[in-house]
Amino acid sequence: MRPVLLIDFGSTYTKATAVDLDQEVILGTSPAFTTSDSDIGEGLTHALDRLCEKTGVLDYTARLACSSAAGGLRMMVSGLVPELTAQAAKLAALGAGAKICRVFSHGLSRRDLEEIQADPPDIFLLTGGTDGGNRECIIGNAEKLATLTVRFPIILAGNRNAVDDCEDFLSEFPVTLCPNVMPHFGELDIEPVQREIRKLFLSRIVSARGLSKTQELLSGILMPTPSAILSAMVLLAGGTDREPGLGDLMAIDVGGATTDVYSIGWGEPDDINIILKGFEEPYAKRTVEGDIGVRYSAQGIVNETGLSQIACQAEVTEDQVQALLLELTCDKSLVARKCGDAIGRLDDALAAGAVDIATRRHAGTLSEVYTVTGVVPVQTGKNLRRIRRIILTGGPLIHADDPLAIARRALFSDSCPMSLRPLHAEILMDSQYILSAMGVLAEREPDVALRIMKKELVRLGECRATDGDRRVAGPNIK
């Protein structure tokens, strides 16, 4: 036996997973409420004690972890125009596992600077201009950032002809220089920035989050949790040289603070008459909705979905919804006491709303443009209509009474006919919370991680956008 311990410090729960590399099996999993407000090690201790009750005492060959505790890696990004460099910076940050709390376009205003001063980010990504293009915007923003009294890491990834001046202004900040995220018009180069974001996470954010107190227990904290899940999804879709993957897929992770959506596939137009507008979307894409979660961000779901619709789906009155939300605000660890109780029904309604909102924001859209030759269909963003597998993860989905009904909210809907969401899909469940663990394990043992995922992801059935879901009994993925 070669046991390995894999830990995910989440915003709401800390999950511990024990894996035997020789047998390629999950030995046990255990969640505990994350105690980031006090000592994050307390939640880890609870999780490990519960895991030990299942597995017995194990002599782990390695202890590896990922983390999004205390809200994850908070980033602000700045670019020249929303549709170009600002969007490129956003794609780079999200793909690296960050939670974007603000996107600035054009020159930073006085109010922008006041906002940054009042609530500084963990990392600021400063971009703007193609190489040889506009210099004034990024240099001006660097000069304005230099007037702040707070200091934070800055990744500089803009017009190469402006970076020297920017570095001069930002001499008192810890600055990391990267290649331009958009060196030429419409061309992305985001991988170098993503690597640097991950390095900064490891060197700075771990300590800031209090995770350094657990370092004596761990072999290493490798990456932010969203980055780990994205790594697992890329592995599951593409496979390895020795083990085939499953092909293009989506994953939806509903949590207490955020809802993340991942899509693996190119997402190009499925008709030669459709014109693609904007960037070519990345093969592995992640979006995070910081205002959508079933505990810390429950009000965001209600605000967008509507109080009456949430109340109707939860089978309670609007006043009861408000009372339950207040109760959840006071006690984030509160869970349903029994199947079908009011909190459980509200959680299901909130999870369904989160899935609907987050997938609409993630997927591309179609629109019609009128030209002299007639109406032309235009695609903006990623086409997900051909995705045939969706993986559900996160406590609100894993513990839902009817996860298939919630999953259907990720599909095409007559209420949003121009959204390029999947038409029908096989639904898989990460019932043991292993995706982040497998993403961490994939750094060292990709074949093992892939085979474990293919064994452990539970096949729930199929959902169709038009005729409801068809429950299909069957074994797990082989």
Side by side, the strands of the sheet bearing 3-9 are 25-33, 13-20, 3-9, 62-67, 220-224
- Pairing mode, strands 259-264 and 284-289: antiparallel
Signed CA dihedral, 345, 347, 350, 352: sign only: negative
End-to-end CA distance of the chain, in Å?
23
Q: Please check the confidence at residue 35 and state whether its pLDDT lies above 90.
A: no
Q: What is the CA radius of gyration of the chain?
A: 22
Residue 70 has pLDDT above 80, yes or no: no
Whether residue 63 is predicted with pLDDT greater than 70 in this model: the reply is yes
Q: What digits encode the pLDDT tens for the residues 192-202? A: 998 898 888 77
- Confidence class for position 218, pLDDT limits 50, 70, 90: low
What per-residue confidence (pLDDT) applies to 163?
Answer: 95
pLDDT 10s digits, 106-128: 999 999 999 999 999 989 999 99
pLDDT tens-digit series, residues 244-287: 999 999 999 998 888 999 999 999 998 889 999 887 788 999 98
- Alpha-carbon distance of 313 to 94, in angstroms, equals 31
Residue-wise pLDDT tens digits, 303-347 = 999 999 999 999 999 999 999 999 887 776 676 555 568 888 999
Question: What kind of architecture, by CATH, is found in domain 73-203?
Answer: 3-Layer(aba) Sandwich (3.40)
The model's pLDDT over 276-315, given as tens digits with 9 standing for 90+, comes to 988 778 899 998 887 899 988 899 999 999 999 999 999 9
Q: How many other CB atoms are there within 10 angstroms of residue 375's CB atom?
A: 9
What pLDDT score does 211 carry?
A: 58
- What is the arithmetic mean of pLDDT over 12-33? 91
Q: Which H or E run includes 223?
A: strand 220-224
pLDDT at 364 over 80: yes
Residue 357, pLDDT above cutoff 60: yes
Q: Long-range contacts of range 278-283, CB-CB < 8 Å, 24 or more positions apart? A: 278/83, 278/87, 278/380, 278/381, 279/87, 279/88, 279/91, 279/186, 279/188, 280/186, 280/188, 281/364, 281/381, 281/382, 282/91, 282/95, 282/188, 282/190
Categorize the per-residue pLDDT at 212 as very low, low, confident or very high, splitting at 50, 70 and 90. Answer: low
Cα three-residue angle 3-67-47, rounded to 5 degrees: 55
Instruction: Indicate the average pLDDT of the chain.
Output: 88
Tokens at 229, concatenated: 């899940």
From the CB of residue 199, how many other CB atoms can be counted at a distance below 10 Å?
Answer: 13
Q: Could you tell me the residue ranges of all domains in the chain?
A: 3-70+209-218, 73-203, 231-298+347-470
Q: Answer whether residue 435 shows pLDDT above 50.
A: yes
* Mean pLDDT calculated for residue range 427-442: 94
Sheet containing 73-79, strands listed edge to edge, beginning at the edge strand earlier in sequence: 98-105, 73-79, 123-126, 154-156, 175-177
Which residues partner with 458 through β-bridges? Answer: 429
* Spatial CB neighbours of 252, under 8 Å, sequence gap ≥ 6: 259, 260, 261, 262, 355, 358, 359, 390, 391, 392, 393, 394, 397, 407, 410
pLDDT at 469: 40
Rounded to 5 degrees, what angle do the CA atoms 152, 253, 81 make? 45
pLDDT at site 441: 95
Element (H, E) at 102: strand 98-105
Total residue count of the chain as it appears in this document: 478
Higher pLDDT, 220 or 473: 220
Q: Contact, 218 vs 7, CB < 8 A?
A: yes
* Alpha carbons 221 and 200: distance in angstroms, whole number: 12
Domain 3-70+209-218: which CATH number of 3.40.50.300, 3.30.420.40, 1.10.357.10, 3.90.1720.10: 3.30.420.40
